[in-house]
Chains A and B, each alone.
Chain A
Amino acid sequence: MKQTDFLDNETLELLKQTGGSVMMTTIDDIVNWGRSNSIWPLTFATSCCGIEMMAAGASRHDFARFGIEVYRATPRQADVIVVAGTIVRKMAPVLKRLYDQMADPKYVIAMGACAVSGGPFFYNTYSVIRGVEHVIPVDVYIPGCPPRPEALLYGVMQLQRKIKGESLTVQKDWEKALSEGPLPHEK
C-alpha cells in the first residue's frame, strides 16, 4: 500500500520525532525490518472477535504472508498480544499477568469495539472494563463489531509501520522528551 493510502500519517511522524533527536541508523533499519516482518502473536481470544481472528489466519485472508507465521501458546515466546474480545473485571488481572510475562519488545493490538472502549456493553453493566487501555498500554486500535479480517490486516500493517519508526539506541522516555521543551514540529 502506498504511504498516502494510509490514515494517521501525522501520528507516525510525531512518534518518530518524540522518540529522540537521533537519526535512524542502518542498524536500526535492519533490526526494525526484522522485527516488524515477523510478529508472532499470543493465542488470546475472549469472544466473538476471536473467530474473525481465526478467519484472518485461514486460507482466504492468510496473514502468514505478513509475517504472522505461527501463534505461540506461551507469552514468553510471543511478540504481540491481540486482545480480541471483551475484557471483564475477573479477567483483567489475568491479562495483566500475561502482558507482564511477555518479553520486550512487546506490542498490543486492541481488536474490536469491546477492547477499544467497551463496545455494546458500555452502559448498564457492572462487570465490563470499558476499554483494554485501562489495563495495558495499547499500540493500535481496530474498531468494528466484529472487524473484518481485512481490518485486522490493516491494523497489523499500521503496527509494522510503527515498529519501523523505533530506534535501538534511544530510550523512549515520553515524559522526559515532552518536558524538555517544545517538540520539533512545534518549534
Chain B
Amino acid sequence: MMNNEALKSKIQALASDTEFVETGQYLTASVPYRKIHAICKGLKEGADTAFDYLFNLTGIDYLEKNQMAVIYHLESTEFHHIVVLKAIIPTRENPEIESLCDLYAGANFHEREVYDFFGINFKNHPDMRRMFLDEISDNIGHPFRKDYVDEVNIIER
C-alpha cells in the first residue's frame, strides 16, 4: 500500500504540472486533461501502483470559471489505495477529452452518460451516442449544464 507521498511522486513523474490537494478524504490530483490517457495507463501498468478498478466517473460544469471537469476515482484491488484524478477542460464550447475505454471496460457506459448530460465529447470512444435522452423526439440539449433552461417542462420551486 503506497502512502500519499509515494503516489504523489509517481504521478509527478508521469505528468509534471499536476497540483495536489490532500486536505480531503482521498488524494486528489488535478492533472492536465490532454495527458489523462497516458497518466491512467502509467498508473494501471505500474507494478507498485496497479490501479485497475475505476469505480466512479463524474462530469461537472463550472459555469463561473467557464470550465468543465471530469473526475476519475481509481482504486487498486491488490494494494487497496485510492486516488482521485481531476481533469479540467478549459472551455465550455465543444469540450473534448480522451476516452479511457481501452484501459477500463467500465468507462464505456460512464462516458456515454457524461456526454449525454454535459456534452463532453470523448475521442476514440467506440460508440459515442446518447444514453438516456432521446435527441430526435425530445429535442433536448444537455440538461445538467448550469445554464440549461426549459420553460416548458421544468416547474421551478
Contacts and interface: CB of A to CB of B under 8 A. Distances in A.
Contacts of B154: 124-126
A130 B133 CA distance: 18
A126 B134 CA distance: 13
A127 B153 contact: yes
B150 interface: yes
Interface residues of A, number: 10
Contacts of A61: none
A126 B153 contact: yes
A125 B137 CA distance: 18
Contacts of B134: 89-90
B126 to A, nearest CB: 24
A36 B134 CA distance: 39
A123 B156 contact: yes
Given A126-B143, A126-B150, A89 B155 contact: no
A123 B155 CA distance: 5
A122 interface: yes
25 contacts: A89-B134, A89-B138, A90-B132, A90-B133, A90-B134, A90-B138, A93-B137, A122-B155, A123-B155, A123-B156, A123-B157, A124-B154, A124-B155, A124-B156, A124-B157, A125-B154, A126-B140, A126-B143, A126-B150, A126-B153, A126-B154, A127-B133, A127-B138, A127-B153, A130-B155
